[in-house]
Amino acid sequence: MSLCTPAEHSFSRRQILGAMGSGAACGLMHPAIANEIAKNNKQVLFVWLDGGMSQFESWDPKPNTRFGGPFRTIPTALPGVHFCELMPRMAKLADKLSIVRNMHTQDNSHSAGVPRILRGDPANRGVTYPYFGSAVSKLLGPGESGLPPYVWIKPGSGGFKPENAGFLGPKHGAIAFGDGKPPENFSRPETISDEQDELRNELRRRFSDRFAKGRKPTANEAQSYVYDMARKLMSRADLFDTTKLPERDLDRYGRTELGQHMLVARNMLEAGVRFVQVTSYGWDTHGDHFNGSASLIPKFDMAFASILEDLEERGMLDNTLVIAMSEFGRTPRINGHHGRDHYPEAWSMVMAGTGLVPGAVIGATDAEGIYVDAPQGHDIGSVFHTWYHALGINSMKEEFYNADQPLPMAHHEMEPIREVLA
């Protein structure tokens, strides 16, 4: 059950400006507003399919058309709505989803497209906008769990990613757990006692304080913040341990990299982490796309459907915003390597959970999936507004502050997708 409605968190620009003191720090809204927003216990699960999942082989199939590909479609829990046959479990959960089928974004390259999407592609104001995770970290804070507010579970290496935070400052970067594992040397050696540990920390604090003198506070704050978060995490090694979970869970999520990482994400959300991103790499299927999809998408289907089911079963879907998307979709045209290339012009993404209308299907593409139904479709700026509103943050009125510079939270010429907001 949602503890508060978006309307309860609505503040006007005038209110915010009036409340701002001249010493407003980087990225801060007025503390009263920030505190109010932080009271809500919203969480976010952000599933990122890096490289570009095909809308044809997932949410928006076009069977038996020129570009439709080899797969059949299956009916979903929403009458008249079909998914690709590669997603049988998500098809049964379609009535929990809000499906946007007319995404139309601006960049067809990975290198520029990924940060543009993840930062919401706002108008250029000479600053680097935060990733959505960093923004949520800033706006909602760590909550009562005290755990890091922005966690990223990903294949490969981990570490702290301050660059995600943009003008909000490095403190709001992501803490990445490579391969879903805790950092190396995570646990305190048994040979060090509590007393010794406290002495070591006191020494560290003194060094940090000395280092901070005469320097800008943000870097040092971030370092201390991350250290404190790491110490908090050290008491929660259980979050990374999926070996003790029931066999049934391992089977349901799939004994795959993504299944494993989604289980860690479930642990993190259950523990109260504010924003959990799960990334799966390897979706850039320029070659042998259909066999690639036949392998990748059912594994996503298992893992994503399982965590949705579990969040709902635990009553967490009422407070958790769930998102699954890529930086773009894939071309209708099938290339000579039997692949699909990058296609930002008409693609799909899905959301579920707090603040959203379940079972909404927004927009459409034409019969062959080449064009969206309206010239502009929905750009990522519009989606960012939607996410903020779903979390109870009125991004049309509230603003970020970069020093004294007010900045819109998302693209100032765009609006949330009203049809999808509860």
Positions in the binding site for other proteins (CB under 8 A): 51, 63-64, 66-72, 85, 108-109, 155, 256-258, 280-288, 291-292, 294-296, 299-300, 331-339, 341-346, 368, 370
In the complex, least distance from residue 9 CB atom to other proteins, rounded to whole angstroms: 38
Query: Which C-beta is closer to other proteins: that of 73 or that of 386?
Result: 73
Query: Which C-beta is closer to other proteins: that of 130 or that of 344?
Result: 344
In the complex, least distance from residue 177 CB atom to other proteins, rounded to whole angstroms: 16
Query: Which C-beta is closer to other proteins: that of 31 or that of 70?
Result: 70
Query: Which C-beta is closer to other proteins: that of 216 or that of 333?
Result: 333
Query: Which C-beta is closer to other proteins: that of 154 or that of 161?
Result: 154
In the complex, least distance from residue 75 CB atom to other proteins, rounded to whole angstroms: 15
In the complex, least distance from residue 324 CB atom to other proteins, rounded to whole angstroms: 14
What residues are paired with 360 via a beta bridge? Answer: 98
In the complex, least distance from residue 72 CB atom to other proteins, rounded to whole angstroms: 5
Query: Which C-beta is closer to other proteins: that of 272 or that of 298?
Result: 298
In the complex, least distance from residue 196 CB atom to other proteins, rounded to whole angstroms: 41
Query: Which C-beta is closer to other proteins: that of 156 or that of 214?
Result: 156
In the complex, least distance from residue 151 CB atom to other proteins, rounded to whole angstroms: 20
